């Protein structure tokens, strides 16, 4: 996966979205993270959970995700060496972003299943930006940071 250092014009720091995408911005990485949200998985379990992924691609993504601190591998067998993979705290923080992408897919793409729902009542969930200082939801048009990620 190619890393790019994209910066906002006049800013010495990488743009937040570009920095995130450089770490986890490909389809397979995001699907692996999604599969691990349910808890630790072994390699073979991940192959089954992430439909269509080739074993060499899965191996590459697991190594990369571990390098960037999104997952951690834990040995469960020394002969032969085998590992279980689980999300770090940083990896679990991606759950919200994945839910937003799933919701967008459900809302805008034909043939996509419904997005996330509330387990208690089955109602479709809505994601909103919230300002704790103002104690209110924030519209996309109210802040430059929301438009220029």
Domains and CATH numbers, the chain: 16-114 (1.10.10.10)
Q: Given a cut of 50, is residue 116 above it in pLDDT?
A: yes
Say if CB 82 and CB 76 are below 8 A apart: yes
Q: How far apart are CA 50 and CA 125, in angstroms?
A: 24
Q: How far apart are CA 132 and CA 110, in angstroms?
A: 35
- Strand 41-42 vs strand 71-78: parallel, antiparallel, or unpaired? unpaired
Tokens encoding 88: 């770090």
For 39, other C-beta atoms within 10 Å of its C-beta total 9
Tens of pLDDT, residues 5-62:
554 455 566 688 888 888 888 889 999 999 999 999 999 999 999 999 999 999 999 9
Q: What is the pTM of this model?
A: 0.74
Q: Given a cut of 50, is residue 128 above it in pLDDT?
A: yes
């Amino acid at each position: 996966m190619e890393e790019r250092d994209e910066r906002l014009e006049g800013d010495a720091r990488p743009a937040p979205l570009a920095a995130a995408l450089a770490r986890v911005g490909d389809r397979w990485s995001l699907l692996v993270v999604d599969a691990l949200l349910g808890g630790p998985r072994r390699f073979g379990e991940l192959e089954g959970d992430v439909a269509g992924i080739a074993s060499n691609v899965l191996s590459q993504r697991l190594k990369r995700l571990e390098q960037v601190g999104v997952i951690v591998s834990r040995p469960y067998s020394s002969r032969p060496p085998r590992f279980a993979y689980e999300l770090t705290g940083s990896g679990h923080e991606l759950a919200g972003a994945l839910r937003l992408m799933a919701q967008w897919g459900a809302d805008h793409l034909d043939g996509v299943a419904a997005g996330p729902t509330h387990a208690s009542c089955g109602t479709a969930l809505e994601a909103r930006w919230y300002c704790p200082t103002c104690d209110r939801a924030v519209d996309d048009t109210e802040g430059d940071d929301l438009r220029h990620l």
